[in-house]
Amino acid sequence: MRKRVTESGNLPTRKSAWNTSTISLRDGALAAREITTRRLAVRTKQVPAFFPRCRGQTLVEFSLVFILLLIVAWIPADFGLAFYTGQLVQNAAREGARIAAVDPDLPSQTGSCTLPCAGHSAHSVLGATAARLSSALTPGAAITVVYPVGGGSCNQMVRVQVVGNYRFFFYRVLALFGATVNPVVSISRTTEMRWEHQPGCIAVGTGGGN
């Protein structure tokens, strides 16, 4: 008779071998996960010590570059605003001369004033001219109304002159860096028109007729 082996623990079976390999793989996966977790923890600990310095450096660089970009962008705007101020002064002088040319009380409205011409009404020549100016762009502008202009007793002209100053922002920035540049530019505009409430000069000629 064959001798039956009763102690099965001495001989490895397929099921026990499979369980052993599964446990080995599981242990390897857990070890790899633990290593990855430790690496992430190390990186996480290093982030707070590195990024605050980067944020401070970025803030300083942005501040310097933003100031330079702001100055460069303001240069064409500054010159454009100066051109607009010149057109505004010219329009005020033209409108003031047009109002003076049709005003029947013009001889009593001559004179001068300084912006904002508070002592003159909005219906007067000086007040209407001042209303078309900007106190922010041309502070303290001088308005002058002169009548009559030139000699003669007919076709007399009325003159309206506006003189103001514009301050360049870009020139003031250059002055901060030591440049000797005058930021104030004088703007003067003059308009002359014929006063309508006067007789015109009629040339009388001699000639023969039948």
The verdict on residue 38 lying in a domain is: no
How many structural domains comprise the chain? Answer: 1
The verdict on residue 54 lying in a domain is: no
Is residue 175 pLDDT above 70, yes or no? yes
Residue with more model confidence, 98 or 152: 98
SS3 111: strand
The verdict on residue 28 lying in a domain is: no
The verdict on residue 105 lying in a domain is: yes
Would you say 157 and 148 are in contact if contact means Cβ atoms under 8 Å apart? yes
Q: Summarize the confidence of residues 2-13 as an average pLDDT.
A: 47
pTM of the predicted protein model: 0.63
Per residue in 24-76, pLDDT (tens digit) is 656 666 666 776 776 655 555 544 554 555 667 788 888 888 888 887 888 88
Q: What is the predicted pLDDT for the residue at 43?
A: 52
Q: What is the average pLDDT value for the chain, to the nearest integer?
A: 77
The verdict on residue 154 lying in a domain is: yes
Would you say 162 and 142 are in contact if contact means Cβ atoms under 8 Å apart? yes
Domain that holds residue 108: 74-194
The verdict on residue 160 lying in a domain is: yes
The verdict on residue 135 lying in a domain is: yes
Q: Summarize the confidence of residues 136-158 as an average pLDDT.
A: 87
The tokens for 37 are: 């977790």
Beta-bridge partner residues of 184: 167
C-alpha angle 66-70-76 in degrees, rounded to nearest 5: 155
The verdict on residue 12 lying in a domain is: no
